[in-house]
Amino acid sequence: MKKTHRRKRLALLLLAFIAGIIIVNVIVRQIRDSVWDGIHHLNMAVDNGDIEVWSIEPSSKHIFRLLVPQNMYLDIPSYGAYRAAAVGKLSLLEQKDGSLLGSGLSQTLAVPIDAVVVRREGREDNFSPTSTFWLGEIQGRVTNFTSFDLLRLWFFFLSVKKESIETINLAQADAVFQEVLPDQTERLKIDSSRFSKLAKKYFTDISIEKEGLTIEIINGTSQEGTANSLALLLTNIGASVINTSRGENRSQTEIFTKSRGYTVSKIAYITSGKIYHDLPKDSRADILVILGEDK
């Protein structure tokens, strides 16, 4: 009998040990795949039938909601121009993970989109910072948020006052214009220069602005304008880009700097570039970004 009890106890201990390893692995994976640390600026795209972009600044506990007109066209990489109202569905059909919505908004507005929440067809309730949501509201939606991200977001929403949530309709912000196509159909397009003024007001990343590092960008790709596009995006979130130029073709994006701060890690996140803490002596900036074909 004693041997039988001992075997059962050992079996239970083994099962508990295996379960513990599985739980730890799940937690580690959730933390590793997390897209928001709860401290730094977050831009997220939300598809509630209508498209919204939320700019979240934890330091000031402020949320800016940008409402994107349904008939505005977004530039979707590799797909061309699509009506904003259709991008959520396209994103679920093609990429399954909603990432096309994020890349389309990032390309069109020239601001980085860190996270997406896309409503599946048949779901009609809205995902909103004013509701005390939890996993119930995220069901029926596709997102790249992990459970840890959602927990951080939930606690953050609880700490935000309703008067600290500002909403602007992009169609009424003098940052779009109406374009008439050859077939006489009309569509709304973004005015980059006008929207840039809006972005600097509402999408500035306080941590980047505080570090105040200067940035130089060299286009090492075969595509013209890549350095300028990145410069506009970084400028829109508060970075100081002092120069862009054309360079020799590179296969990989490289980032050279002596800094180990937030700005460098954010640029690496945006460009998927590799960081080298070895800034060339003749560099005129604190951070040198050389864009490669992988970009």
Question: Mean pLDDT in each 10-residue stretch from start to end of the chain (295 residues)?
Answer: 68 72 65 84 94 96 94 89 89 85 95 94 79 60 89 89 93 85 79 92 96 97 95 97 95 95 97 95 94 86
The partner residues of 54 in beta bridges, in order of sequence, read 44, 65
Inter-axis angle of helices 99-109 and 84-94, nearest 10: 140
Q: Which CATH number does 204-291 carry? A: 3.30.70.2390
Q: Give the pLDDT confidence score for residue 250 in this predicted structure.
A: 92
Phi-psi region of 78 (alpha: psi -120 to 50; beta: other; left: phi over 0): left
CB 178, CB 249: distance < 8 Å: no
Neighbours of 38 (CB within 10 A): 15
Give me the torsion for CA of 196, 202, 203, 209, rounded to 10°: 100
pTM for the model = 0.87
Residues 199, 202, 205, 207: is their CA dihedral positive or negative?
positive
Q: Which CATH number does 42-172 carry? A: 3.30.420.590
Listed by start position, the domains of the chain span 42-172, 204-291
The partner residues of 92 in beta bridges, in order of sequence, read none
Q: Give the pLDDT confidence score for residue 176 in this predicted structure.
A: 87
pLDDT tens, position by position, 247-273: 999 999 999 999 999 999 999 999 999
pLDDT tens, position by position, 201-212: 999 999 999 999
